[in-house]
Structure 1
């Protein structure tokens, strides 16, 4: 699939939400402000009870699809969004995330158009609700085998050609909170899909993720990481499991 000035990629952006009243408006507004004009915006809500959907409905003229119904969790909701997506390229922007600038999707589209990769990713900042940056995730250029050294790109910056989901599968619910890590492992490490790194901050993420919310959840997340590694041909998963969190230390400096 080749893109050009005549046929720029249509980008499907999927936001999944559940009781995200405090953050979803910032998320939605960051999509609406994008300068790129070939966007399909989809919101998949898990039947929120806090007014999240009412906030989304305020912007329904800018949102192609809004679904609010019970689901089996965040990755089930992502899969629902992917099933509805009609774009050439698809990415996930969760309700706690927002685009770092108004030209992010322009940059993503240019990368697909000029480089023709299967996947585009970039950098991410973790921020407090007041906007203060607390961590800086600088991905770096991918080289074959880097997942064996604990590397991974930030999932909120991960955009891929939509047809890849049909070819290589969706988010697997058997990996719990590591489903995004497992999918990127499967696409990039196991199936050797081509990637292109955009060296700039694409997304800002408000701190307070589910997988880091308690020691119990963190242990479960490690178990799911290990399972993903074993099932996607990572060399020496126990060692990689120890290296992976150590790589994050540099994000705090």
Structure 2
């Protein structure tokens, strides 16, 4: 890609009026239209809403077209099996070189966020890129994670799904989101991309405004799925069948992969420097915590 790569912004919806979120989807659509990046499209995939959401979105699209809005909006509505299935279908329907997911109640941080990301994509041609995120707590307070790195990716997703741009052909080649995961399929996708040794790039600008809550607010359910993601992605490097689901869940609880798990990942990925760095980081993080028996960690408590 010699010119700025095109980007598909993907938003999935279902029965937003019933959920009292009709205003937020309109704000999302206006937010995408306000981006200064070129070569954008907004793909909205609706899961066959039956509460008037379809009509709401279609009316907004007509208003945008009448006003000469710069970003084309393509709307589809048909049944799907859930959030991540809808995302997969939307990616298949998209046309951009890269895709980025924007929830129906979140926003893009700045008008030039995608334009600045686009500049880096054109320069480095990564398989995926990740930027900063402004998180909004349920009480309205905000915070921003500025130090973003893939070193911790073996233990948790280090950057927000909504601030990650993925090359569309990479997403499709990997089969899209794994639908066995209902809460953390985004982490599984990110981890699969990373473990392939594909090229990533950090974009030093805030991209998404993410309202915390939703499915990921189920702490125990999220933890259980993370444990399954670990089992799925690390089993090629060692036999994890000897560990029960409860044991793997405890790894999530304390935020530590056993030393021999990190060690196995390290030695199995000699030609993948980023994976080796992450495995080394995980190894020493666990070692450090094991040397501090007076402290306790519990990532599954509210």
What range describes the TM-score normalised by the shorter chain of this pair?
0.7 to 0.9
1:78-227 to structure 2, matched below 5 A, reads 78-127=87-136, 132-143=140-151, 146-188=152-194, 190-212=195-217, 217-227=218-228
Q: Is the Cα contact below 8 Å between 1:137 and 1:154 reproduced in 2?
A: no
Give 1:210 shift: 1.9
Report the aligned-residue RMSD: 2.5
Instruction: State how far apart, in whole Å, the 1-side matches of 2:174 and 2:28 are.
Output: 29
Residue equivalent to 1:13: 9
Q: Is the Cα contact below 8 Å between 2:45 and 2:75 reproduced in 1?
A: yes
Instruction: State how far apart, in whole Å, the 2-side matches of 1:199 and 1:102 are.
Output: 15
Instruction: State how far apart, in whole Å, the 2-side matches of 1:225 and 1:139 are.
Output: 22
Residue equivalent to 2:254: 242
Q: Is the Cα contact below 8 Å between 2:42 and 2:74 reproduced in 1?
A: yes
What count of residue pairs does the alignment treat as equivalent? Answer: 235
Give 1:247 shift: 11
Q: What do the CA deviations read for 1:94-152 (whole angstroms, capped 9, x no partner)?
A: 1011101111110111111112211111111122689x443323351334xx3234352
1:30-49 to structure 2, matched below 5 A, reads 30-49=31-50
Q: Is the Cα contact below 8 Å between 1:139 and 1:153 reproduced in 2?
A: no
Runs of 4+ in 1 over 6 A off after TM superposition: none
Residue equivalent to 1:27: 28
Q: Is the Cα contact below 8 Å between 2:157 and 2:190 reproduced in 1?
A: no
> Alpha carbons of 1:210 and 1:166: their partners in 2 closer, same or farther (altered >3 Å)?
closer
Instruction: State how far apart, in whole Å, the 2-side matches of 1:224 and 1:121 are.
Output: 23
Instruction: State how far apart, in whole Å, the 1-side matches of 2:117 and 2:188 are.
Output: 22
> Alpha carbons of 1:128 and 1:239: their partners in 2 closer, same or farther (altered >3 Å)?
closer
> Alpha carbons of 1:55 and 1:122: their partners in 2 closer, same or farther (altered >3 Å)?
same
Larger Rg: 2
TM-score normalised by the chain length of structure 1? 0.83
State which drifts further: 70-79 or 58-67: 58-67
Unpaired runs of 5+ residues, structure 2, are 17-21, 66-70, 241-247, 257-296
> Alpha carbons of 1:206 and 1:166: their partners in 2 closer, same or farther (altered >3 Å)?
closer
Unpaired runs of 5+ residues, structure 1, are 249-253
Instruction: State how far apart, in whole Å, the 2-side matches of 1:247 and 1:135 are.
Output: 22
Instruction: State how far apart, in whole Å, the 1-side matches of 2:255 and 2:147 are.
Output: 15
Instruction: State how far apart, in whole Å, the 2-side matches of 1:247 and 1:205 are.
Output: 24
TM-score normalised by the chain length of structure 2? 0.71
